[in-house]
Amino acid sequence: MKVNATLLLAAWVACAWAQSPPPMIAGVYTCTDAKGRKLTSDRPIAECADREQKVLNPSGTVKAKLGPSLTALERTEIERRERREIEERNRIADERRRDRALLTRYPGKEVHDGERRDAVVQVQSVIQTAHNRLTELAKQRVTIDGEMEFYKKDPSKAPAYLRRQLQENMESQAAQHKFVHEQEAEIARINSRFDEELTRLRQLWLLTAPAR
């Protein structure tokens, strides 16, 4: 049974070696197999597929080392680890690019504060326009309500055009209020973004400040 198990193991190793042959390197291959035998060959040695092999120069010095053949699971793990390392390197490179772009755009706090102020003022101007529109709609509503006063006992008897004006006024005011809330949220997002940038910029300005 022991002999059969050994033969099966040797056959499995040879099969794995054949499926994933190591790269050929010119030289003398040498290794010690599982039985303790020192083997040499002019090509990778199948009996040592599960262990390290050395490739020697004609002078006998070590030219290269050949690692053991990997299982599919081991190769998958190595590839996964390499992908993680590549992703991390890319993340660091992207972060450095963003940092350089931030420093170029904002060499000092006054520049950053100025751009924040301009961005907020622009949205505030839009909000003011919406408030002006709401004031106009409120005045229109007073006029409409004055006309509807004649039909307060039974609004359904009001003329169709008057009921339509009332409905449109209500919808317009609701839309303007919604728009104002959205723009106020936009100001909050702008300030949040500039706050995050400022936190990072303070670190970068400190790192790039000339030594005293």
Per-position DSSP letters for 6-42, written without gaps between them: HHHHHHHHHHHHHHSPPPP-SSEEEEE-TTS-EEEES
Q: Is the domain of 101 the same as that of 182?
A: no
Apex 111 CA angle, 201 and 192, nearest 5: 55
pLDDT of 86 higher than 70: yes
Q: Is the domain of 150 the same as that of 85?
A: no
Q: Is the domain of 134 the same as that of 189?
A: yes
In this prediction, residues 108-114 reach a mean pLDDT of: 96
- Rounded Cα–Cα distance for residues 87 and 83 (Å): 6
- Rounded Cα–Cα distance for residues 34 and 36 (Å): 5
With cut-offs at 50, 70 and 90, classify the pLDDT of residue 24: low
Tell me if 159 is assigned to some domain: yes
pLDDT of 1 higher than 60: no
Q: Write the CB contacts of 166 (distance below 8 Å, at least 6 apart in sequence).
A: 144, 148
Q: Is the domain of 167 the same as that of 193?
A: yes
Q: Is the domain of 199 the same as that of 122?
A: yes
Tell me if 56 is assigned to some domain: yes
pLDDT of residue 135: 97
- Rounded Cα–Cα distance for residues 37 and 10 (Å): 14
With cut-offs at 50, 70 and 90, classify the pLDDT of residue 212: low
Provide the domain limits for residue 97. 71-105
**Between 168 and 14, whose confidence is greater?**
168
Q: Is the domain of 94 the same as that of 175?
A: no
Tell me if 3 is assigned to some domain: no
The b/e string for 42-81 (b: 16+ C-beta within 10 A; e otherwise) is eebbbbbbeeebbbeeeeeeeeeebeebeeeeeeeeeeee
pTM: 0.59
